[in-house]
Chain A
Amino acid sequence: MTEFFQSILGEGLGWFVAHLILILLIALPVMLVMALSTWMDRKVWAAMMLRRGPNVVGPIGILQPFADGLKLFLKETIVPTGANKGVFFLAPMITFVLALVAWAVIPFDAGWVLADINVGLLFLFAVSSLGVYGIIMSGWASNSKYPFLGGLRSAAQMVSYEVSIGFVIICVVLYASSFNLTDIVESQRGNIFGLLNGNLFNPLLFPMAIVFLISALAETNRPPFDLPEAEAELVAGYQVEYSSMTFALFFLGEYMNILLMCALASILFLGGYLPPLNWAPLYMVPGLVWLFLKVVFMFFIFAWVKATVPRYRYDQLMRLGWKVFLPLSLFWVVLVSGWLVFTGHYSAEVASPPPVVESAA
């Protein structure tokens, strides 16, 4: 498509127009899926509590998220007295934009990726670690007690769990010998006896998949780690003073982050756009469908956890992050790298380093 537009509009402008269209092609479906994911979340939650969930707007209530969005759009935006206005409005925007920008490096199918960069996984990690700013800034700018406490909690929580997520990512990267997401997916093609696709089925990486799932729950502030917005103690945490579209941006950003973590878990451990079995007929189904199914499956697990697990206490949360996950994942990095060196599983380029320029030293 880029070539087509470049042939019509010239090189620079054609590239620009083509990428604008590609961005819209990614952002609009992602936002649609995100709207439907709020509906699915509520439906799964309701089913586990033997309720019906949203069932009034549209068939089986599927239009409920759009009705909610319209309602929020028509509400008045209230700015608290003494709020720091610039930061107050910047915070929801940061949350939303960061959640959206990360999808640029996600490979939806073989070669279907907007930015096929070398450090795709690091980019995702960087963007998800920036997500804390939306929350901490909103907590401070609201000039109110509960949001401030929520912001502080979330800052400490997200920084703690990022550490273990980082080590989990390192383990997978060591197996794939690349930070590029497409390479990571391709490295899982038939990686278990040529039969199964996915690091999840690798006994050495399976515990890291569990650690990643739990850390992802903490990173996205989902129950049982939703302390920044714990309604029983902090009313709604950092969202207390937000109304109308500013609240909607937070809400949407949060769900988009959850979807992103689901997509990341699918890419790292479930084989991304590859079918779960390395069997030729399964490859007839487009990779996009497989990735979508995996993301929905992961999202179901997120909703399942939300419906069944009680909230952690704050000291328990910190204990789990620093005293259990950090030593475990650090040890696992050593274990995985030791195993890879022992079995000689590393790429040829790294094995034979090029001669270093002598005069530079």
Chain B
Amino acid sequence: MIQAAVFYLFATVVCASGLMVILARNPVHSVLWLILAFFNAAGLFLAIGAEFIAMILVIVYVGAVAVLFLFVVMMLDIDFAKMRAGFAAYLPFGLMLGLILAIELVLVGGAWAFGDLAVQARAAPAPGGDLSNTQAIGTILYTDYVFIFQLAGMILLTAMVGAIVLTLRHRPGVKRQDVGKQNARTPANAVTITRPTVGAGVDTDVGVGSGRLGQ
């Protein structure tokens, strides 16, 4: 009974906050609602006993991805009127996407519930014994699916390198701090002691490191 109550609580909050993401007038509020949705989805994972995935969801999505979302959205100056103007034009396209997603979800759910291939997996979705969730995922991910796992890692690496290459700019004339260089400096090559005569001034072009001046 309490499991069902917990499920309905989390599921309701997920759906409601998902709705608020697109209904909120303020984009920062939208992101905050999105965070609430993530959080409650993690709660749903916990309710079915997938504690590892729940924690990873909170760490990766709430703790890192959504922070960056919030970071960007907070700094943007968004014109709400302009955003609302395109609403009607994009509505059919959005509805179509939503419909496709809904059909796919129903298909996946149906295949799981009624498919012939999934009979055994349905009977025991989690490996039994005293294996914890984390170990179970590890043993299947790094044995049966190790190549797919590596492939996913490679794709992410490529995406990361691509993003860095696209945004990296070499600006000339920027002074950068080189800690090694700073530590290697000694008074001999960093300090000059000058005794200029009255009215003569110091020849700064001679520069640092050339020894004593004006003697």
Give the B-binding residues of A (Cβ under 8 A): 12, 84, 87, 117-119, 122-123, 125-126, 129-130, 132-133, 136-137, 140, 148, 151-152, 155-156, 158-159, 162, 166, 179, 315-316, 319, 349-350, 353-354, 356-357, 359-361
Contacts and interface: CB of A to CB of B under 8 A. Distances in A.
Contacts of A360: 117-118, 120-121
Q: Looking at chain B's contact residues, is the secondary structure mostly helix, strand, loop, or mixed? A: helix
Contacts of A315: 177
Interface string B15-33: 0000000000010110010
A359 B139 contact: no
Contact of B143 (A12, A118, A125, A356): A356
A360 B64 CA distance: 33
Nearest to A136: B70
A133 B51 contact: no
Contact of A130 (B62, B130, B135): B62
A84 B26 CA distance: 11
A122 B59 contact: yes
A123 B140 contact: no
Contacts of A166: 59
Interface in B1-19: 2
B138 interface: yes
B127 interface: yes
B35 interface: yes
B173 interface: no
B51 A119 contact: yes
Contact of B59 (A84, A125, A137, A152): A125
B33 to A, nearest CB: 12
Interface in B158-176: none
9 contacts: A118-B51, A119-B52, A119-B134, A122-B55, A126-B55, A130-B58, A133-B70, A140-B70, A319-B177
Most buried by B among A123, A132, A133, A360: A360
Interface residues on B, range: 35 or more
A84 B27 CA distance: 13
Contacts, number: 99
Contacts of A129: 58-59, 62-64
Contacts of A361: 144
A126 B58 CA distance: 6
Most buried by A among B55, B68, B127: B55
Interface of B: 2, 26, 28-29, 32, 35, 51-52, 55-56, 58-59, 62-64, 67-68, 70-71, 74-75, 117-121, 124, 127, 129-135, 138-140, 143-144, 177
Nearest to A129: B63
B129 to A, nearest CB: 7
B130 A349 contact: yes
Given A136-B70, A159-B67, A118 B133 contact: yes
Contacts of B51: 117-119
B131 A354 contact: yes
A151 B28 CA distance: 14
Most buried by A among B52, B124, B134: B134
A327 to B, nearest CB: 14
- Give 6 nearest A-B pairs by CB, closest first: A129-B63, A122-B55, A360-B121, A353-B139, A126-B58, A359-B120
Nearest to B64: A159
A162 B70 CA distance: 17
Nearest to A123: B55
Given A136-B67, A140-B74, A159-B67, A118 B134 contact: yes
B156 to A, nearest CB: 15
Contacts of A152: 71, 74-75
Nearest to A180: B132
A122 to B, nearest CB: 4
A137 B120 CA distance: 47
Contacts of A356: 139-140, 143-144
A179 B75 CA distance: 37
A84 B135 CA distance: 45
A188 to B, nearest CB: 20
A354 B120 CA distance: 16
Contacts of B133: 118-119
Nearest to A324: B179
Contacts of A137: 32
A126 B134 contact: no
Contacts of B55: 119, 122-123, 125-126
Given A119-B133, A122-B52, 6 more contacts: A119-B52, A126-B55, A126-B58, A129-B58, A136-B71, A155-B67
Contacts of B68: 159
A162 B129 contact: no
Nearest to A177: B135
Contact of B32 (A87, A179, A350): A87
Nearest to A316: B177
A350 B138 contact: yes
